[in-house]
Amino acid sequence: MQMEFYSLPLTVEKIMRRQEHPRCSMQQSVIQHLHLLLTTAFGEFPGDESFGCGIWDHDFDNVTSAHKLREYIRQSLLQSVLQKEKRLANPKVEILLRQEEITDSPVSRHVKKKIDVTISGVLQLTNEKLAFRDSFFVGPLSY
């Protein structure tokens, strides 16, 4: 069963004018939605204040232990996926936090916190396994 979904980013003008908009598979649509959930802070989307995850509550947190922070992020993201992405059954969230040295130039180096995220589950409609992986630096956010 092949279903098509609008791909991100949405071009609302094209949709309103009934022009062709790029489309994607359900698997790609779920992956795009998970990325959007992951990179959105609670309260950032005015249409739904509960959309997003709690990673951004601790963006510059250097006090909380890595274990507590990892578990808080994992639970927050899992709850968001359970509430906002109904096409994914039995979601599992894994978080890896680590420090990584960034080199901007031959003389400029600094350490940033990197978050590696893996979200896995099964697509409800097709019973296909899905594994989404993303990583980014926080404090401030950068890809």
The low-confidence residues of the chain, meaning pLDDT below 70, are 1-2, 58-64, 139-143
Task: Write down the pTM of the prediction.
Answer: 0.79
Q: What is the 3-state secondary structure (H, E, C) of 78-120?
A: HHHHHHHCCCEEEEEEEEEEEEEEEECCCCCEEEEEEEEEEEE
Per-residue confidence (pLDDT) for residue 28, from 0 to 100 = 93
**Alpha-carbon span 139 to 14, nearest angstrom:** 36
CB-count burial class (<10 Å; 0-12, 13-18, 19+) for 5: middle
Question: What structural domains and CATH numbers belong to the chain?
Answer: 5-136 (3.10.450.40)
Residue with tokens 């400029």: 108
Q: What are 126's two structure tokens?
A: 């097709």
The amino acid at 91: P
**Alpha-carbon span 92 to 78, nearest angstrom:** 7
Per-residue confidence (pLDDT) for residue 134, from 0 to 100 = 95
**Alpha-carbon span 41 to 54, nearest angstrom:** 6
For residue 123, report the phi and psi dihedrals to the nearest 5 degrees: -70, 125
Residue with tokens 């594994």: 131
Secondary structure class of 35 (helix, strand, coil): helix
Per-residue confidence (pLDDT) for residue 140, from 0 to 100 = 52
Per-residue confidence (pLDDT) for residue 58, from 0 to 100 = 66
